[in-house]
């Protein structure tokens, strides 16, 4: 039942963190203009985030319920819910974005995403309450507000932020730098970022599953099985990454046309995709190893590796080579 208590504490911590996040999102236009972004791009980005903010609290709840289920070995339930809602999201995106009757246009995509987040959150709560066993639930209590418990979560969370968020933020900084090279370079960067982010989901998801599985085995004092699970996850992640590398290499000259028909952007993307193909192997490996480190409680180690690799070496070198 302590699982339910820690979930409540996580909810309290999320509520506190949502306040500055919403403030940033709702003032994104001014922030982006200060970062020397195009005014029209800043306006549209701010408009997008304002609509997407409607689903931000639900997204926080999704992360809590997902861990709640995974800790009990219910790995398939969040996947089933997300799969069903993903299909609904596609229909909503097309309907809200392209319907001649609603006239939402650009706003349709973030609104459909926000609605989908709320649907997943609501479905997760209903499934957790009505369908699955509630033995792990803890009655709502003021213990969730205890400073020591919140401090423990914050300490562990900061390690996770350093390990995972620092990597994502690095790519956002690269996007800001690319925008200074012009709209075509930014468009090419967007194509590459969407592509690599999409392919990264496979090894990252495998890393999450490995983290939970290895953590359970270590908790059961079965280090040999935990080691076997780590090796299996690593090899499977490497195989998946090699498949993505081959796809990017073979289709490097045609890949950009999946996103737009601009010839200059396609040439830029095609010239960089061989490097992206090589990068897949290392990026996929990082996704798996990161999960293994989290399972062993080594978030700080992963954070230090990411911070040094991205912010001490990678980004400064990339900016130097670009400008």
**d(Cα 38, Cα 28) in Å, to the nearest integer?**
13
**d(Cα 89, Cα 97) in Å, to the nearest integer?**
11
Q: What is the pLDDT of residue 134?
A: 62
The answer on 93 and 82 residing in a single domain is: yes
- Spatial contact of 154 and 147, defined as CB atoms under 8 Å apart: no
The answer on 155 and 132 residing in a single domain is: no
The answer on 196 and 91 residing in a single domain is: no
- Which 8-state DSSP code applies to residue 314? I
- Closest by CA position to 81, among listed 114, 115, 122, 132: 122
Domain extent at residue 134: 1-145
The answer on 238 and 176 residing in a single domain is: yes
- Closest by CA position to 237, among listed 170, 161, 289: 289
Pick from 100, 122, 145: which residue ends a domain?
145
Torsion angle, CA of 257/206/53/16, rounded to 10 degrees?
Answer: -150
* Helix (H) or strand (E) run with residue 30 in it: helix 28-34
The answer on 309 and 240 residing in a single domain is: yes
The answer on 107 and 163 residing in a single domain is: no
CB neighbour burial string for 12-28, b if at least 16 within 10 angstroms, e if fewer: ebbeeebeeeeeebeeb
SS (H, E, C) 57-105: HHHHHHHHHHHHHHCCCCCHHHHHHHHHHHHHHHHHHHHHHHCCCCCCH
Pick from 93, 114, 145: which residue ends a domain?
145
Phi-psi bin for 297: left (phi > 0), alpha (psi -120 to 50), beta?
left
Q: Is the pTM of this model over 0.85?
A: no
Three-state SS for 262? coil
Phi-psi bin for 67: left (phi > 0), alpha (psi -120 to 50), beta?
alpha
The answer on 165 and 22 residing in a single domain is: no
**d(Cα 260, Cα 191) in Å, to the nearest integer?**
9
The answer on 236 and 249 residing in a single domain is: yes
Q: How many domains does the chain have?
A: 2
- pLDDT tens digits in sequence order for the chain, 323 residues long: 677 778 888 888 899 999 999 999 999 999 989 888 888 888 998 999 999 999 999 999 999 888 888 777 777 888 889 999 999 999 998 888 887 777 788 888 899 999 999 999 999 888 877 765 566 676 777 777 888 888 888 877 776 676 677 777 888 888 788 878 888 888 888 899 889 989 998 998 898 888 888 888 888 888 899 999 999 999 999 999 999 999 999 999 999 998 888 888 899 999 999 999 999 999 889 889 988 888 887 877 877 888 888 888 988 998 888 88
Q: What is the pLDDT of residue 127?
A: 84
Pick from 93, 115, 145: which residue ends a domain?
145
The answer on 31 and 179 residing in a single domain is: no
The answer on 207 and 99 residing in a single domain is: no
């Amino acid at each position: 039942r302590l699982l339910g208590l820690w979930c409540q504490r996580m909810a309290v911590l999320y509520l506190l963190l949502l306040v500055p996040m919403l403030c940033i999102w709702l003032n994104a236009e001014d922030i982006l203009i200060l970062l020397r972004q195009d005014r029209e791009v800043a306006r549209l980005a701010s408009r997008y985030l304002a609509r997407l903010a409607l689903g931000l609290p639900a997204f926080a709840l999704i992360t809590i319920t997902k861990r709640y289920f995974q800790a009990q070995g219910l790995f398939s339930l969040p996947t089933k819910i997300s799969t069903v809602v993903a299909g609904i999201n596609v229909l909503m995106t097309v309907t809200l974005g392209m319907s001649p009757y609603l006239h939402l246009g650009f706003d349709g995509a973030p609104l459909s995403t926000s609605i989908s987040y709320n649907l997943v959150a609501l479905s997760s709560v209903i499934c957790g309450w009505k369908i699955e066993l509630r033995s792990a639930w803890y009655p709502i209590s003021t213990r969730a507000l205890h400073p020591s418990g919140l401090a423990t979560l914050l300490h562990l969370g900061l390690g996770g932020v350093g390990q995972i968020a620092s990597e994502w933020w690095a790519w956002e900084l690269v996007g800001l730098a690319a925008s200074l090279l012009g709209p075509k370079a930014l468009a090419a960067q967007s194509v590459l970022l969407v592509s690599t982010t999409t392919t990264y989901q496979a090894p990252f998801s495998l890393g999450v599953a490995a983290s939970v599985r290895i953590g359970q085995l270590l908790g059961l004092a079965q280090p040999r099985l935990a080691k076997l699970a780590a090796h299996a996850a690593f090899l499977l992640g490497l195989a998946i990454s090699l498949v993505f590398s081959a796809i990017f290499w073979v289709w490097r000259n045609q890949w950009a046309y999946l996103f737009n028909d601009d010839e200059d952007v396609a040439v830029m993307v095609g010239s960089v995709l061989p490097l992206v193909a090589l990068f897949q192997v290392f990026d996929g490996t990082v996704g798996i190893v990161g999960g293994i480190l989290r399972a062993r409680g080594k978030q700080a180690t992963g954070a230090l590796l990411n911070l040094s690799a991205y912010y001490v070496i990678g980004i400064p070198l990339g900016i130097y080579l670009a400008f």
